[in-house]
Amino acid sequence: MSLKRIELTAVLFCLSLSSAMAQFTSAIQGVVTDASGSAVPEAIVHVTNVASGVGRQATTSNDGLYRVINLGPGTYRVNVAVPGFAPAERPIVPLGISETLRADFVLKVGELVDQVTVSEQITQVETEEGRISARIEPVKLKELPMNGRNLFSLLAFQPGVVGRGLSGTFRGSSSAQADSFSGETSPQTYANGQRRESNIFSIDGSNTNSPYSNGSNLTPNADSVEEVRVVSNNFSAVDGRGSAARIQVISKAGNNTFHGGVSEYFQNNTLASRNVFETNGVSVFRRNQFGYYVGGPIIRNRTFFFTSYEGLRPPAVGCPLIGHHRGNARLPGLGDTDAAQYHRR
């Protein structure tokens, strides 16, 4: 391989990495003042992700304002330091996906050996953005039942959204395939009185809307998702194009500790009842949906990895309607003999 080809390959590889990076849109902002209420300019604000140790820094303006943007969801620690004042800290600042939190500080005059810890709880009401939205946090993704392990089945429980949450497959034609292996999926959820085709889907900031079903081109497995935000009204102009709900999904990432898990979801016909067409007993049904996820550090406080896998072993069963060929149940357009031959195939 020539040197130019190697250089071209390296450039394309780097470009692919940059384009695959998540586009975080969360932010932490606030005002830094002294005990008299006067603004404190030139204060250094450090915002650090507690799990990964990755930090960002900002400086307050002449009005004492600061804003740290492009943050991912997680728990952060915010420190403020300025000469002549005791350092201040908020040790726990939970930040959600596509969220702007306000964290104000009132500094006290003191020595560098002093430190003020602010234990005031961050308000759970969005005060920085005028929108109607809700989060599906990791604990909900872990504990709430999901039909077919499809996380989009939880959309119907969000404020301003109605529907069943079941997902149709290609072109939204059927809701029978509700699992995450359905390919293009179109949840039957409606917001603002609009059609489901007006919903907008994104994963890690990248649009995943299908040009065919107007659903999502990708349904990630629940173990690989950090959280989901559903904005049902008054969203930003940057989230335009659709007039219904804006469904934003953020995937998990590695941090400074190795973590992971395995899962197995098994269904069978043990508690199923026989329907009117099952003359020979309940049909055999076995379904195994399994997977794993693992993440951890490569270089502490700098580089991390995360990977997940989900597999499906669906049941191989026939349709009793096709097998019953004595005149009271048959395929449309087929006679009794034709239906029996079709079943044998």
CATH number at residue 110: 2.60.40.1120
153 and 61 belong to one structural domain? no
Instruction: Say if residue 273 is in the same domain as residue 297.
Output: yes
117-174: pLDDT as tens digits: 766 665 556 666 777 788 898 889 888 888 778 888 888 888 888 887 666 554 444 4
Distances (CA, A) of 276 to 106, 182, 218, 315, 337: 72, 29, 37, 21, 21
Amino acid, res. 235: F
- Non-local (6+) Cβ contacts of 309 within 8 A are 291, 292, 293
Last residue of a domain, one of 192, 217, 250: 250
Q: What is the CATH number of the domain that holds 200?
A: 2.170.130.10
Let me know if 50 is exposed, middle or buried by CB neighbors in 10 A (0-12, 13-18, 19+).
Answer: middle
For residue 2, give Cα distances in angstroms to 5, 6, 7, 16. 5, 6, 9, 21
Cα separation, 281 vs 299, in Å, equals 58
Beta bridge partners of 264: 290
Encode pLDDT of 16-30 as tens digits.
Answer: 444 445 578 899 999
User: What mean pLDDT do residues 53-78 have?
Assistant: 94
The model's pTM is 0.72
pLDDT digits (tens, 9 = 90+) for 254-311: 999 999 999 998 888 888 888 888 888 888 888 899 999 999 999 999 899 999 999 9
Query: 177 with 217, same domain?
Result: yes
Euclidean distance between CA atoms 55 and 66, whole angstroms: 15
Model confidence over 200-210: pLDDT tens digits? 888 988 888 88
The C-alpha atoms of residue 251 and residue 73 are separated, in whole angstroms, by 10
Please check whether residues 25 and 106 belong to one and the same domain: yes
**Band of the pLDDT at 53, cuts 50, 70, 90?**
very high
- Residue 27 has a CB neighbour count (10 Å cut-off) of 18
Among the candidates 193, 218, 250, a domain finishes at 250
Task: Give the whole-angstrom CA distance, residue 221 versus residue 152.
Answer: 10
Give how far Cα 152 sits from Cα of 8, 23, 90, 165, Å: 40, 21, 34, 7
pLDDT at 5: 58
Domain count along the chain: 3
Task: Find how far residue 252's CA is from the centre of its chain.
Answer: 8
- 20 is written with which tokens? 């695959």
217 pLDDT tier (thresholds 50, 70, 90): confident
User: Which pair of structure tokens corresponds to residue 341?
Assistant: 């031959």
Instruction: Please tell me whether residues 276 and 240 are part of one structural domain.
Output: no
* 48 C-beta neighbours (distance < 10 Å), count: 18
Whether 4 is covered by a domain: the verdict is no
* Buried/exposed code over 117-138 (b: 16+ C-beta within 10 A; e: otherwise): ebeeeeeeeeeeeeebbbbbbe
pLDDT value of position 327: 39
* 65 and 157 belong to one structural domain: no
Residues 216, 289 within the same domain: no
List the domain range (segments joined by +) for residue 176.
146-250
User: Are 244 and 273 part of one and the same domain?
Assistant: no
In a domain, 303, yes or no: yes
The H or E element spanning position 139 is: helix 138-143
**Which of helix, strand or coil describes residue 234?**
coil
Of 117, 133, 163, the last residue of a domain is 117
In a domain, 282, yes or no: yes
